[in-house]
Amino acid sequence: MSEFSEKIESLIPQLTLEEKAALTVGRDMWSTYPVERLGIPSVVMTDGPTGVRMAASSGDNIGHSMPATCFPTASGLASSWNRDLLAEVGRTIGIEAQALGVQTLLGPGLNQKRSPLGGRNFEYLSEDPVLTGELATAFVNGIQGEGVGACPKHYVANESETNRMFSDAIIDERVLRENYLHAFEVAVKKAQPWTMMESYNKINGEYVAENKRLLHDILKEEWGYEGIVISDWGAVNDRVGGIRAGLHLQMPTAPTAWRVVDAVNDGSLDESRLDEVVRDLLEYVFKADAAKKIGVTFSEDEHHQVARRAAAESVTLLQNDGDLLPLSPSAQVAVIGEFAKKPRYQGGGSSKVNPTRVEILYDELSAAYGNDLPYAAGYHGEEISDELLAEAVETARAADIAVVVIGLPDSYETEGRDRTHIDLPEAHNTLVSHIHEVQPNTVVVVINGSAVDLSWVSYVPAIVEGWLTGQGSGGAIADVLTGAVNPSGKLAESFPWRIEDTPTYTCFWPDAHGTIPFSEGVFYGYRWYDTRDIEPHFPFGHGLSYTTFEYSDLNLSTTTYTEGEPLEVQVTITNTGDRMGKEVVQLYIHEHESRFPRAVRELKDFAKVELAPGESQIVTFVLDGKAFAQWDTAVPGWVVNPGTFDIIVGASSRDLRLETSLEVNSTSLPKKVYTRMTPLGDFMKIPAIEKMVRDQFIARMGDGPFMEMILMFVISTPVGKMAYNGQMSEEQLQGMLDMANAS
């Protein structure tokens, strides 16, 4: 029961069938249908992963929206690994939404980065479901704390853009649960977003928009979701089927309400089911209306500073050979690259924000040095000429240090299409190689929304990943380069050497029927690279600082853990350098013997700490049984396998500092049922049966050169086949079954 329940129950009988149907479809591009005679208002929503994209009219008008603060894209924010920062950004966006009359923001994006080719990867947080779920929770709580609904998207398995309207993700249930549903589950249970956006695609042959198991059984019944499900724009194929499944609101407006009316009238849709959907919709509408604040204003200056701080904490120092960074205040610095003066700071498509201002990296660096620094464009877009290259080379040669700014043009990363490679434009790579030949002190700043091939990594001493960090990106990158900010970003996605090394190299693209086999299973991102021992350019969780950190004193609250209890993990982090800095402490687990294939390491928690030089802090993590569990499709449910696990803490998935072992006892492992199809070897794990088998069967086999091979064949044979073939009697078989199932 909510504060609106009594009101809603009194309204439903007063609504006509036509009004009920109309409520389930948008009024226009961005608002819900009102029923003015009953005092049911309209709710306004708009895109919002990186800022409020409030259209100037009821149409879409991408690029023609009201000015709002443009924050880093999700790939940048996730590199901060900072829950508090995500919450602050969410709160700030929520305030602007209130000021602009927006009641629901369509974000954040929770899809996983199963391939670096995903055209919308800049809009998604990470390649790990735990990291994604935790950061999304903070962001949602931040937005909703200001009385504005969040809308996590795209639920679920919309991990690529190609043929997204009809692609069919073929996913094993365990993979779906552990990898692709997990982040949504965390956000629902910890933040209760007001709305959830379902995705365009099919899963295992059924459109998500009509999938009752996903929209109702899992989301509502299992997870206890209290909000409504909204379609992605234009995703509905069967409005009546969607209502049956649990799709509350079709967006944008479409002439489909009459189909709902006809379905009720002809008996193919029970009106009581429509009433359930309308009941949830009215709960959302009245909640949003009650939370609306009149007369909210905000300081563009203050919000810009939040955007700049968020950008600075997202910037990631990938390489710093010889401590070339931070830049010396007395150095003669040259700035090379068109992006330094014509920045790319956000992705393309529906998330595009009209910023209140944009900082320019060249201007910010010049201001830091107190004069206009030498500059050369080096390239125009994706093109380079002999004249541009010659000017850039001479400018770099005359300096002490060259800062070269390159990256991906807007056309490379945008909603609606995927990348076909992970290369930077050839003009940008050419520029780097020529600058390096004349200037060994070269710093490369890369501007991009997702992983790229940094083929020149071996001969460039310093590399800064600048991401698409919003309107404050110019100042934020300058702050990191000059040392005004100590970098603390860590990669939320792996950077592979080659696209051929990636887990989805053979299964990313849909076939002629739109089918996408998720045949990599649970192994994607760092879980693939670490398990296969494939060395990436830069691993998941990697990021350098201008100071150093020491890990010590890893302790567990117990060395024998029983599922259902909390497990406390503590580790001490010390700043052993000479300047203030932030470190992201990452906790991974490794299972020694798993019942099902499992990655060699899985992230289970993380914490970001800020320490003064010489300062130490004890970081405490608390894990529950879910951290050790796998989805067992036979149960079906989450099951913890008893046995030995390693608890590992480190600075990345490859930079592992400390580990200790833990014995885990399970309360969820189902009792094994022995049947005629159980292999003999499984029975032999029971001591009494093993002795009987050895005495009555194996001893009669004798010795010989092929006995070991024959023995392996025998113990892998189902006992029912052995009885059928006369190798044991039915009485012996039944005795074994009774003894095993009673054990």
Residues 6+ apart with CB under 8 A from 451: 116, 121, 422, 493, 494, 495, 496
Which are the catalytic amino acids? 232
What is the distance between the alpha carbons of residues 549 and 248, in angstroms, rounded to a whole number?
A: 50
What single DSSP character describes residue 407? E
Distances (CA, A) of 419 to 119, 518, 576: 6, 18, 42
C-alpha closest to that of 555 among 643, 647, 625, 463: 647
415 forms beta bridges with none
Which run of H or of E encompasses 334? strand 333-336
In the block, tokens 């998500």 appear at 208
CA 102 to chain centre: 25
Which tokens in the block code for residue 708? 């070991």
In the block, tokens 């996590």 appear at 152
CB-count exposure of residue 670 (10 Å: 0-12, 13-18, 19+): exposed
What is the distance between the alpha carbons of residues 665 and 642, in angstroms, rounded to a whole number?
A: 5
Residues 6+ apart with CB under 8 A from 659: 554, 590, 646, 647, 648, 649
Query: Hey, how many other C-beta atoms are within 10 angstroms of the C-beta on 642?
Result: 17
Dmax (CA) for the chain in angstroms is: 95
What is the distance between the alpha carbons of residues 660 and 585, in angstroms, rounded to a whole number?
A: 16
In the block, tokens 């005795």 appear at 735
What letter represents residue 652's amino acid? Answer: S
Q: In the 3-class helix/strand/coil scheme, how is 510-549 assigned residue by residue?
A: CCCCCEEECCCCCCCCHHHHHHHCCCCCECCCCCECCCCE
Half-sphere exposure of 3 (CA within 13 A, CB side): 8
What is the distance between the alpha carbons of residues 31 and 15, in angstroms, rounded to a whole number?
A: 19
**Torsion of Cα atoms, 479 then 482 then 488 then 490, to 10°:** 100
The string of DSSP codes covering 85-116 is HHHHHHHHHHHHHHHTT--EEE--B----S-T
In this structure, the strands spanning 567-575 and 549-556 are antiparallel
